[in-house]
A and B are shown apart, each in its own frame.
Chain A
Amino acid sequence: MNASAHTARSTSALLYLSGVTVSFDGFRALNNLSLLVEPGEMRAIIGPNGAGKTTMMDVITGKTRPDEGEVVFDGQADLTKLDEAEIATLGIGRKFQKPTVFESHTVRDNLLLALAGPRSWYRLLAATPTKAENDRLDEILTVIRMGAQQHMLAARLSHGQKQWLEIGMLLAQDPKLLLVDEPVAGMTDVETETTAAVLREINKSHSVVVVEHDMSFVRALGVKVTVLHEGSMLAEGSLDQVSADPRVVEVYLGR
């Protein structure tokens, strides 16, 4: 353990990435990436295609192991040593770019599966939803505005409704940190605005990291922005600050 590991373990940061490098067949998807997310913060991550946004999510959730670097959650948990289920149990929830809901289940059952609670097969064999669990489901259905569709099969939802259901499932997990990957891709303007409102509401009680292309959406969120480029951090600050940065302009418009 070197000195930086010690400082990491004593920071107040909720999520701490330092010097993270990931290569696929010689291609460096992440190159010495460092990132710090404070508790209660909402952070937007932007960057051109291939900047490493999704790979970064994969590293944080344990899907991909970094070749080098540290990933520490909540000041103590070394995420590079844990698998997906363990990391999810620690309190990191992830929404994927392409909505993946359980199509043959109803909206309510989707949320029930995501709900924080028993996960092991032998406990679920005998479990029935408790009063508290049902109340919590109703609450989430209100937040994501889908109470009317709760008994509909998820396969029959529209694209936008699936995205909201996914966000609801993330909420049901009650994680300390929500990772949200391109939530408004393929949404109408009205749906995009609603999504921004839902995320701001969620941010009142949870820390959130959002990866997004859509600049108007990022502006609507109104939070600190990190710009990724070729696997490392290029700039950080408010959206106005980073869009005034000549390097950022070059990356987005220059090539």
Chain B
Amino acid sequence: MIQRFLWRGLDTRLRLFIGLVLLVGIVPPLLNLLLPPSSPLYVPAYVLQLVGKYLCYASLALAVDLVWGYCGILSLGHAAFFALGGYCMGMYLMRQIGSRGVYGNPILPDFMVFLNYKELPWFWHGFNHFWFAAPMIVIVPSVLALALGWFAFRSRVTGVYLSIITQAMTFALMLAFFRNDMGLGGNNGMTDFKDILGFPVQADGTRATLYFASALVLALFLVIAGAVVGSRFGKALMAVRDAESRMRFLGYRVEGYKLFVFVLSAAMAGIAGALYVPQVGIINPSEFSPGNSIEAVLWVAVGGRGTLIGPVIGAFLVNFAKTYLTGALPEIWLFALGALFVAVTLFLPRGIVGLWGQYKARQERTKRTATA
């Protein structure tokens, strides 16, 4: 039954796109592992790392799109859920270092020795086991989203006010995580990871696997999001987006719908963050910075909100441009970002994917006038 539920939401176009994502997930790692570096088709490790990062961003974008594009909740704090998932993974990776740290303490991570911690803070217990850390990656962001959403949606906080609250949340978390006595590495965050599940993080095979896992997770998220959006629940969700009070008068408990997608979306963002951290090798409080959340919203806007393919395309395009421009012309990147935001708002209200729809509509119109 679950299988039918999952596949029902997927139209042909989305299935093809999921296939493409999986292809992008399988082929490059194989080319990296199987071909010699001299081959013209060889994919170097840094490319895998870069695209692996984009894949995680694409998952985050999809999570943002689920709440913004389909339910009208403009969250300006989704990077917080991403970072929390990342921190859970970071804590696991720190505990895996063991006595190989600079100070050689078998229990305490380096920064704790440095800050004169005598024993492990209570919330670090259990993170040496992957079976504990893995569920935490989902639970921690979900619980935060549940608490925030519970109060906000029940008090009927909507629109700009909700956006401001989510932005304040991520800013508050950033300030908190910057503090050394939070016991989470302060402004340096966590880095120098050695092993994940017993495999060295830097090894080619591990990198390729993490890359593949990121693509697999993105494909899985597309399936889940497609099923949710394509169900009768999804119809109700979009109706909440378009006319919330109308739904209340039809007898729907709007809070339940919002809370479910908000928590689902936070969990997705958390998983994306957890895959991101071992690939970039560091997690620090700047991941919570408000700008990150706003950028994620921009990816969705560029790609096309309210579509499932759009956010993925948007995340890849904007981040590719960012990588290129911050390398080639670092001083203009922020201006380019600003210009992009203005341009998309003015000319592409439905994003790049929306362009296709506009094109088809125009084609149909000319066809109709031609026959008339």
A residues neighboring B (CB under 8 Å): 61, 63, 83-85, 88-89, 93-94, 96, 100-105, 109, 112-114, 119-122, 124-129, 169, 173
For A93, list chain B residues within 8 Å (CB).
249-250
For A129, list chain B residues within 8 Å (CB).
232
Beyond A88-B248, A126-B5, is A109–B253 a contact (Cβ under 8 Å)?
A: no
Q: Chain B: interface residue count, which band?
A: 20 to 34
Beyond A119-B251, A126-B5, is A102–B231 a contact (Cβ under 8 Å)?
A: no
For A88, list chain B residues within 8 Å (CB).
248-251
Number of A-B contacts (CB under 8 A): 80
Q: Is the CB of B233 within 8 A of A125?
A: yes
B148 within 8 A of A: no
B213 within 8 A of A: no
Q: Which residues of chain B from 217 to 245 have any CB-CB distance to chain A below 8 Å in the complex?
A: 228, 231-233, 235-236, 238-239, 242-243, 245
Q: Is the CB of A127 within 8 A of B249?
A: no
Q: Is the CB of A113 within 8 A of B239?
A: yes
User: In whole angstroms, how far apart are the Cα atoms of A84 and B247 in the complex?
Assistant: 9
Q: Is the CB of A61 within 8 A of B231?
A: no
User: In whole angstroms, how far apart are the Cα atoms of A191 and B345 in the complex?
Assistant: 39
User: In whole angstroms, how far apart are the Cα atoms of A102 and B250 in the complex?
Assistant: 12
Q: Is the CB of A113 within 8 A of B250?
A: yes
B66 CB to closest chain A CB (Å) equals 14
Contact of B253 among A100, A113, A120 (CB under 8 A): A120
B256 within 8 A of A: yes
Contact of B248 among A85, A125, A126 (CB under 8 A): A85
User: In whole angstroms, how far apart are the Cα atoms of A127 and B232 in the complex?
Assistant: 6
Q: Is the CB of B239 within 8 A of A84?
A: no
Contact of A85 among B235, B238, B252 (CB under 8 A): B252
For B5, list chain A residues within 8 Å (CB).
125-126
Residue among A83, A109, A125 facing the most chain B CB atoms (10 A cut-off): A125
Contact of B238 among A101, A102, A119, A127 (CB under 8 A): A102
B117 within 8 A of A: no
For A122, list chain B residues within 8 Å (CB).
256, 260
B150 CB to closest chain A CB (Å) equals 14
User: In whole angstroms, how far apart are the Cα atoms of A85 and B251 in the complex?
Assistant: 4
Beyond A102-B238, A121-B257, is A173–B250 a contact (Cβ under 8 Å)?
A: yes
Q: Is the CB of B235 within 8 A of A112?
A: yes
Beyond A102-B243, A124-B231, A128-B232, is A114–B260 a contact (Cβ under 8 Å)?
A: no
For B248, list chain A residues within 8 Å (CB).
83-85, 88
Closest residue of chain A to B249, judged by CB? A94
- Interface digits, B287-321 against A, CB 8 Å rule (1 contact, 0 not)? 00000000000000000000000000000000000
B125 within 8 A of A: no
User: In whole angstroms, how far apart are the Cα atoms of A128 and B235 in the complex?
Assistant: 12
Q: Is the CB of A119 within 8 A of B233?
A: no
Residue among A121, A124, A128 facing the most chain B CB atoms (10 A cut-off): A121
User: In whole angstroms, how far apart are the Cα atoms of A83 and B5 in the complex?
Assistant: 32
For A120, list chain B residues within 8 Å (CB).
253, 256
Contact of B232 among A104, A124, A169 (CB under 8 A): A124
B246 within 8 A of A: yes
For A83, list chain B residues within 8 Å (CB).
248
20 contacts between A and B (CB under 8 A): A63-B245, A84-B248, A85-B253, A94-B249, A96-B246, A104-B238, A105-B239, A112-B232, A113-B239, A119-B250, A119-B251, A119-B253, A120-B253, A121-B257, A124-B236, A125-B231, A126-B231, A127-B231, A127-B233, A129-B232
A85-B248, A113-B236, A113-B239 given; name 10 further pairs at CB < 8 Å. A84-B249, A100-B243, A100-B246, A102-B243, A105-B239, A113-B235, A120-B253, A122-B256, A125-B231, A127-B233
User: In whole angstroms, how far apart are the Cα atoms of A115 and B1 in the complex?
Assistant: 24
User: In whole angstroms, how far apart are the Cα atoms of A114 and B251 in the complex?
Assistant: 9
- Interface digits, B252-272 against A, CB 8 Å rule (1 contact, 0 not)? 111011001000000000000
A73 CB to closest chain B CB (Å) equals 14
Closest residue of chain A to B2, judged by CB? A126
For A61, list chain B residues within 8 Å (CB).
249
For B236, list chain A residues within 8 Å (CB).
113, 121, 124
User: In whole angstroms, how far apart are the Cα atoms of A129 and B252 in the complex?
Assistant: 17
For B228, list chain A residues within 8 Å (CB).
125
Closest 6 CB pairs of A and B: A88-B251, A84-B248, A124-B233, A102-B239, A121-B256, A125-B233
For B254, list chain A residues within 8 Å (CB).
85
A20 CB to closest chain B CB (Å) equals 19
User: In whole angstroms, how far apart are the Cα atoms of A118 and B14 in the complex?
Assistant: 28
A107 CB to closest chain B CB (Å) equals 13
User: In whole angstroms, how far apart are the Cα atoms of A119 and B251 in the complex?
Assistant: 7
For B257, list chain A residues within 8 Å (CB).
121
Contact of B251 among A89, A100, A104, A125 (CB under 8 A): A89
For B246, list chain A residues within 8 Å (CB).
96, 100-102
A177 CB to closest chain B CB (Å) equals 13
Closest residue of chain A to B8, judged by CB? A128
Contact of A169 among B231, B250, B252, B260 (CB under 8 A): B250
A255 CB to closest chain B CB (Å) equals 33
For A114, list chain B residues within 8 Å (CB).
250
